[in-house]
Amino acid sequence: MKITGLDNVNAESLPKDWSETFEYKENLDRLRSALKDFEKYSHIIVIGNGGSITSFEAYYRALNPNKKVFILSTMEPRFLEEVVKNYPEEKTLVIPVSKSGNTLGMVESLLNFVGNKDQDGYKILAVTNTKSGALLELAKKRNWPVIEHPEIGGRFSGGTTAALVPSYLCGFDIGKITEGIQSGYQLKNEAYALSKKLYDLEQDAVSEVFVPIYSYYLMGFQNLIVQLMHESVCKDSQGQTYYAALAPESQHHTNQRFFGGKRNVTAIFIIYKGSNNLEMSVPEDFKDINIRSEELKIVDKIKYRDALFAEYIGTKTDADNKKIPNFTIELEEINETEIGKFLGFWHLMAFYSALLRGVVPFGQPAVEDSKEITVQTIKKLSR
């Protein structure tokens, strides 16, 4: 993984603060053993919200699952009906994930897959804490198996059962994922340097961070990056707004904002060039077609990966020319190890960004009021 646009950071300038969160290591042998009986299911539905699903979403999109998987984060009724239609009971394992077990939306969605008796409905494997919570109580009443969720906050739980249970069942090498995360935690200098750059830009009124992602396979990180940087950092009226989008498509909606709107935005380009050598081939009768004052023959024999890279170069160079600060993170491979490393790096980004602003990296106190209002609104609807 390469990061460009940074200053060197002297090791002495790194904060001494650290968290036990980054020292946690799941017992993978025990987890693999506990999941053996569930490998037979060809379809998986993972139900959760926020950090319960964002890390797995990143793994699932980037890697090559050997199962049909759906990540469910809404109780929209038509959507629930479509999921049931495409995921038959006899083939499907439902995995609700919640550290607290008290996420109302998760329970509401789960009810759509639960029968009226123990033997009815879908096979369910719960991932939650083993001390208390609504999900644990539901599991006890119906004798659902439970995999323990450790006391690690959801957005930092990519190396725990929250993400590793469905990852293992999808055929991913969870050992390599966790090794990659630990490797990402070694990028302290790079993470702090980028965090400091962004903090300094915020002090200069740069309040937004645009994250164009030049790979379909890395788009699963979109929600995780936004969640990490918002929930960890945006406290005490501080922190920047992050918005991520698939590129080069983002060039056709957000580049206008980036270049033509307020000059209060920086960019972190995420790129993956890869090694695929698929080439464009222009038929002879197409070669003299005019496109942007050139003939179409200019793309003949060009590798698609080079064409994609050219899209990034166009946007980055324009930003440089306009003196818009920007940074680039390049992944050289997409596999379990590199994806874990990338995730670990963003954990550190959130951690150091919070420390720079003097706020606690963990917890998200500002979201609790709206959750309570939702509960009270539901209560009024109950009959």
20-172 adopts what CATH topology?
A: Rossmann fold (3.40.50)
Residue 364 neighbours by CB distance under 10 Å: 17
pLDDT of amino acid 103: 93
β-bridge partners, 291: 294
CA angle 210, 156, 148 (to 5 degrees): 145
**For 121, which DSSP code?**
B
With the CA atoms of 58, 60, 62 and 65 taken in that order, what torsion angle do they form, in degrees rounded to the nearest 10? 170
Domain boundaries, the chain: 20-172, 187-356
- Residue 163 — φ and ψ, nearest 5°? -100, -25
Q: Encoding tokens for residue 153?
A: 């906050």
pLDDT of amino acid 9: 63
Tally of CA atoms within 13 A in the half-sphere of 142 that contains its CB: 23
Question: Would you list the DSSP string of 257-285?
Answer: HHHHS-S-EEEEEEEE--S---B----GG
Q: Encoding tokens for residue 325?
A: 């600060």
Residue 10: pLDDT band with limits 50, 70, 90: low
Q: What is the mean pLDDT of the chain?
A: 95
pLDDT of amino acid 306: 96
What is the spatial distance between Cα 315 and Cα 13, in angstroms, rounded to a whole number? 33
284-309 residue pLDDT tens: 999 999 999 999 999 999 999 999 99
Q: Encoding tokens for residue 374?
A: 């939702």
pTM for the predicted model, two decimal places: 0.93
164-204 residue pLDDT tens: 999 999 999 999 999 999 999 999 999 999 999 999 999 99
Tally of CA atoms within 13 A in the half-sphere of 146 that contains its CB: 22
Q: Is the pLDDT of residue 99 over 80?
A: yes
Q: Is the pLDDT of residue 119 over 70?
A: no
136-160 residue pLDDT tens: 999 999 999 999 999 998 899 999 9
Least confident residue range of 48-62, 71-85, 104-118, 296-310: 104-118
Q: Is the pLDDT of residue 236 over 90?
A: yes
CA distances from 71 to 82, 177, 257 (A): 13, 19, 31
187-356 adopts what CATH topology?
A: Rossmann fold (3.40.50)
Do the domains spanning 20-172 and 187-356 agree at the CATH topology level?
A: yes
What is the spatial distance between Cα 293 and Cα 290, in angstroms, rounded to a whole number? 6
Residue 83: pLDDT band with limits 50, 70, 90: very high
Segment 220-247 mean pLDDT: 98
338-364 residue pLDDT tens: 999 999 999 999 999 999 999 999 988
pLDDT of amino acid 383: 66
11-69 residue pLDDT tens: 667 888 899 999 999 999 999 999 999 999 999 999 999 999 999 999 999 998 999 99
Buried b (16+ CB within 10 A) or exposed e, 278-294: eeeebeeeeeeeeeeee
Cβ neighbours of residue 194 under 8 Å, at least 6 residues apart? 3, 6, 268, 327, 349
pLDDT of amino acid 371: 83
CA distances from 381 to 74, 135, 141 (A): 18, 22, 25
pLDDT of amino acid 333: 95
Segment 64-91 mean pLDDT: 96
pLDDT of amino acid 144: 96
269-285 residue pLDDT tens: 999 989 899 999 999 99
Q: How far is Cα of residue 248 from the mean position of the Cα atoms in its chain?
A: 19
H and E: helices and strands count for the chain? 13, 13
Report the DSSP pairing between strands 2-4 and 43-47. Answer: unpaired
